[in-house]
Structure 1
Amino acid sequence: MSFSGDADILWGTALALARRAGGVSPRGHALPPLLFFTDPDRTLEPWQIAQNLPQGSAVVYRAFSRTDAKETGLKLRAACDRAKIGLLVGKDDALATAIGADGLHLPEMDMARADALSQTYPHWLLTCALHGPLTGRCATGLDAFVVSPVFPAGGASAAKADLGLEAFSRIIAALPCPAYGLGGIQPANAAQLLETRACGIAGVESIMRAFGR
């Protein structure tokens, strides 16, 4: 599958990061180079974006307890299957099980759940949000972190100060497992992540714009 313009820049950079990082988690799971995070307010029909994503990437479906969570999740599952990409669910392991997801993305405050989840669902890819240094917390069971915001970002991260490339690089270098960069990553600045040990790129609006045909 070939892409052009912004999609080509984001995917090419994500692939370069994944190749350099090895593309595999400590638990032996393949790590998607590109993670598309959904948002009920900004990605109203996320399955339309999912079906255009490059093979090998993944969607992180954040339902935020909406009443149509399962219905939307099943549409996403079907789109991801057609595109041959992965599907993770944010926080809700019951929803993940109900729609046949490939893994779970945990909020930072739920990090401690990863160990038990990794034993209950050994086939799941488990990622966790992180917004600063790990500072001694246990990350057992995780495949990867998603560290944010790297650059000034929108959505829920708009009120958070960006880490900046130097702090982001320092934080992920100290982690026990690979880490994605999330927050304000655009085609114009994506190549800056090549100066870090990031394993791939995560995003919302930039991916939606680049792959929303």
Structure 2
Amino acid sequence: MNQRLLATDGPAQLLRVGRALRQAAGNPVAANGGALPPLILVTDAARVPDPLPAAGRLPEGSAVLLRHYGWPQRQALAEALAKLCRTRGVLLLIGADADLAREVGADGLHLREAMLDAPPPRRPGIVTAAVHSAAAVAKAAAIGADAVLAAPVFETTSHPGRVPLGIAGLRAIVQAGRLPVFALGGVSALNAETLLGSGAAGIAAVGALAD
């Protein structure tokens, strides 16, 4: 497939690969019995201030992870996303705020790596966690996370100075624990197929789903 076609068909390509990864990983489910998504749109306030259009293009069964940490209108954005996701059949995860997740009726909570020393006070549906190392995966498993987002797998404009994990590093994180792992960071239609065989259970992306 040529690069021009991939550029216009990027989200569909990520979905195809995400579904293949999920199937190869055994179609993992969360503790509440719900299926984990093959594809997660991760919001980024600096790159995509308004994630609603991108969320509205996601296929049914995908997920949105609202970060937008410190965003003045985060409550309103969470409410708008919750309404949109319900009508689209898309899961909504709220980053680092269990109270907000409950208030808007989100499907789950996403924990920053710095939050992995203790479980959330009450389990708000699906729980995912950010990890950058195998040691963090162990912490996430210990507090009952359903899955982790490992980053950055490839070079990314969000963190230009950070050394990427690469496929080998991603595979090491997958093998470090029993939690499903989503590949995040620099994933695009051009490199998504290189994730096949890594053991990852799905794809998480910012620009590739929003640009």
Q: TM-score, structure 1 length as denominator?
A: 0.88
Equivalent pair of 1:182/1:201 in contact (CA under 8 Å): yes
- The residue type equivalent to 1:16 in the other structure is A
Corresponding residue number in structure 2 for 1:34: 39
Equivalent pair of 1:25/1:144 in contact (CA under 8 Å): no
CA RMSD of aligned residues (A): 1.6
- The residue type equivalent to 1:11 in the other structure is L
Aligned counterpart for 2:177 among listed residues 166, 175, 178: 175
d(CA) in 2 for partners of 1:174, 1:131: 12
d(CA) in 1 for partners of 2:110, 2:139: 17
Partner secondary structure for residue 99 of structure 2: helix
Relative to 1, partners in 2 of residues 1:138 and 1:198: Cα closer, same or farther, differing over 3 Å?
A: closer
Matches for 1:58-97 after TM superposition, within 5 Å: 58-97=63-102
d(CA) in 1 for partners of 2:27, 2:175: 16
Corresponding residue number in structure 2 for 1:22: 26
Q: Give structure 1 stretches of 5+ with no counterpart.
A: none
d(CA) in 2 for partners of 1:113, 1:203: 26
Corresponding residue number in structure 2 for 1:153: 156
d(CA) in 2 for partners of 1:160, 1:138: 22
- The residue type equivalent to 1:21 in the other structure is A
Relative to 1, partners in 2 of residues 1:66 and 1:106: Cα closer, same or farther, differing over 3 Å?
A: same
Corresponding residue number in structure 1 for 2:186: 184
- The residue type equivalent to 2:164 in the other structure is D
Equivalent pair of 2:11/2:208 in contact (CA under 8 Å): no
Q: Give structure 2 stretches of 5+ with no counterpart.
A: 1-7
Partner secondary structure for residue 110 of structure 2: strand
Deviation at 1:20? 1.3
Identity across the alignment (%): 33
Moved more, 42-51 or 22-31: 22-31
- The residue type equivalent to 1:49 in the other structure is A
Corresponding residue number in structure 1 for 2:61: 56
Runs of 4+ in 1 over 3 A off after TM superposition: 135-138
Deviation at 1:26? 5.8
Deviation at 1:24? 2.2
Corresponding residue number in structure 2 for 1:144: 147
Deviation at 1:113? 3.0
d(CA) in 1 for partners of 2:93, 2:204: 13
Query: 1:54-99, CA deviations, whole angstroms, 9 ceiling, x for partnerless residues?
Result: 1000000013122211111111111111211000011011111121
Query: 1:150-207, CA deviations, whole angstroms, 9 ceiling, x for partnerless residues?
Result: 010121x222110111121112111221100000111010001102100000010011
Q: TM-score, structure 2 length as denominator?
A: 0.89
d(CA) in 1 for partners of 2:71, 2:11: 30
Deviation at 1:138? 5.7
Equivalent pair of 1:111/1:139 in contact (CA under 8 Å): no
Partner secondary structure for residue 64 of structure 1: coil
Corresponding residue number in structure 1 for 2:3: none
d(CA) in 2 for partners of 1:22, 1:60: 23
- The residue type equivalent to 2:173 in the other structure is I
